Amino acid sequence: MKLSLPLVGRREVAERTMSFAFDLEGQSFPFKPGQYVNITLAAPSHQDDKGNSRTFSIASSPDDPWLLLATRLTGSALKRSLAEAALGTRVAVQGPMGSFVLPQDATRPLALVAGGIGITPFHSMIKTVTERTLPHRLTLFYSNRTPRDAPFLDELETWETKNPNLRLVATMTASDVTGWQGRRGYVDGRMIRDVLGDPQGFLFYVAGPERMVAGVTQVLLEAGVDQDMVRTEDFPGY
């Protein structure tokens, strides 16, 4: 499916991280929570050798009248162009794509492991489950350097209070972080077992930077989780 959508809003959701809202203008855009789209900006104000198209996970719910995307502002020309574009600027949207999606079967509890901007597909999943009061049981391990680096942390904390089937396990990895009363350290086997008990009864979804995804996957396999029970999505270039 291809659409032309106007940029109608943007906001800083964490340090060096911005969300972008595109109005669907009443058009139907069915997708499954966890999927992604390809965005093309026809006349970007900045250019580089990466071109004027980029892939973004969808952060909104299929019930929203807009398409919400979020990204780290890494300095790429397209991202800088989006951050500076006038509201009303249109982008070409192609999708949805991807199989990293919320399962229809809610029998098995889900353990979601997100690093940084890897939260975007989970934001879509959790928003959908919470607003539709779906029966999925979700535990979200959310790792960031500091709270300032954690996109959508406030929203996730709010959804946890509204959804009895959602447990948020936010952890910060910076050694010098101050004022944080929650967990500290990387998501490892000890943390997973401490929260979940036996992890073998869970279906795992892991999303974030490539090294983080590879590391968490290895931890899960060493803990006895079957490879078929681990689904991954890495975010190269972040």
> Rounded to two decimals, what is the model's pTM?
0.95
pLDDT tens digits for range 197-238: 999 999 999 999 999 999 999 999 999 999 999 999 987 654
Distance from the first to the final alpha carbon of the chain: 27
Q: Which CATH architecture has domain 2-97?
A: Beta Barrel (2.40)
Q: How far apart are CA 176 and CA 178, in angstroms?
A: 6
What tokens does 123 get? 């934001």
pLDDT above 70 covers a percentage of the chain that reads 99
Instruction: Read off the DSSP letter of residue 100.
Output: -
Compute the residue count for the chain.
238
What's the CATH class of domain 110-234? alpha beta
Q: Domain residues of the chain, as ranges? A: 2-97, 110-234
Give me the phi and psi of 54, to 5 degrees please: -155, 155
The per-residue pLDDT for range 134-171, each reduced to its tens digit, is 999 999 999 999 999 999 999 999 999 999 999 999 99
Token couple for 104: 């229809």
Q: Return the structure tokens found at 64.
A: 């929203």
What are the DSSP E strand ranges found in 24-165?
Answer: 36-40, 53-57, 66-72, 90-97, 110-115, 138-144
Q: Which two tokens stand for residue 152?
A: 């959508």
Q: Which two tokens stand for residue 143?
A: 């790792």
For the stretch 32-79, pLDDT in tens is 999 999 999 998 888 888 888 999 999 999 999 999 999 998 878 889
> Which tokens is 149 given?
């680096």
Side-chain half-sphere of 95: how many Cα atoms within 13 Å?
25
